[in-house]
């Protein structure tokens, strides 16, 4: 469906819900559980996220990786607009071994295509009505054409942060991590393990610094 057709359709649709982000001025509107319209004010630098999200979703779909459909974007003097498919679902409060393995498979597919989301947190992963896990926001993602050291650093950092931002139970996270590592080519496994160790050390040092700073106040 062309972007112009969708814009015309939503003018006659009821608004199911609308969210306004105080942090970046983003307005997200859901129309009749069918379409999502995201809008940034014209003076916001974040509007480039729409271009990124459109390109990343197109890249994933070209590689047969599941992602919400993105119908297009428009940027003019009134603002920056992104038109997406609305997929019903909710973030999981607690992950089981089964859903952790689904998550590992999903991120393995992203990284296999060179995509790192750079925004892995609980609100961005939903479980759809059919039980599938779906990542819904690619506005901060990066497409790496070559898997260089920066790619491995970003991928390792993303996987590590899933421990604190998505899967908070350590046993379940280990199930996720083992599954993710097992799905990587042998060469990538060694590189990623090195970066995991580095990320782990750096983040523990940062957390220790935060705790000391709190105690000193």
- Give the pLDDT score at 7: 87
Alpha-helical (H) ranges within the chain are 3-10, 48-62, 97-112, 149-165, 170-182, 186-216
pLDDT averaged per 10 residues in sequence order, the chain, 217 residues: 82 91 83 90 70 95 96 85 94 96 97 96 96 95 92 89 91 95 86 78 70 66
pTM: 0.87
- Give the pLDDT score at 75: 83
- Give the pLDDT score at 47: 61
- Give the pLDDT score at 113: 96
- Give the pLDDT score at 193: 81
- Give the pLDDT score at 186: 85
Q: Give the CA radius of gyration of the chain.
A: 19
- Give the pLDDT score at 117: 97
- Give the pLDDT score at 217: 59
- Give the pLDDT score at 98: 97
Report CA-CA distances (Å) from 169 to 75, 79, 88, 166, 192.
Answer: 42, 41, 26, 9, 21
């Amino acid at each position: 469906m062309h972007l112009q057709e969708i814009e015309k359709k939503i003018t006659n649709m009821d608004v199911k819900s609308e969210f306004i982000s105080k942090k970046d001025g983003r307005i997200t509107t859901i129309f009749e559980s069918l379409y999502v319209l995201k809008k940034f004010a014209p003076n916001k630098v974040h509007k480039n996220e729409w271009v990124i999200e459109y390109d990343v979703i197109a890249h994933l779909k070209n590689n047969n990786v599941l992602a919400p459909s993105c119908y297009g974007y428009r940027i003019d003097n009134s603002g920056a607009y992104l038109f997406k498919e609305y997929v019903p679902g909710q973030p999981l409060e607690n992950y089981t071994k089964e859903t952790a393995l689904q998550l590992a498979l999903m991120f393995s597919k992203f990284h296999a295509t060179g995509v790192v989301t750079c925004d892995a947190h609980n609100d961005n992963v939903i479980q759809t009505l059919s039980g599938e896990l779906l990542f819904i926001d690619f506005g901060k993602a990066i497409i790496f054409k070559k898997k260089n050291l920066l790619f491995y650093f970003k991928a390792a950092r993303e996987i590590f942060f899933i421990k604190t931002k998505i899967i908070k139970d350590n046993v379940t996270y280990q199930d996720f991590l083992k599954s993710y590592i097992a799905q990587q080519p042998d060469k990538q496994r060694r590189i990623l393990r090195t970066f995991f160790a580095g990320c782990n050390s750096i983040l523990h040092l940062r957390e220790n610094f935060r705790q000391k700073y709190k105690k000193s106040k």
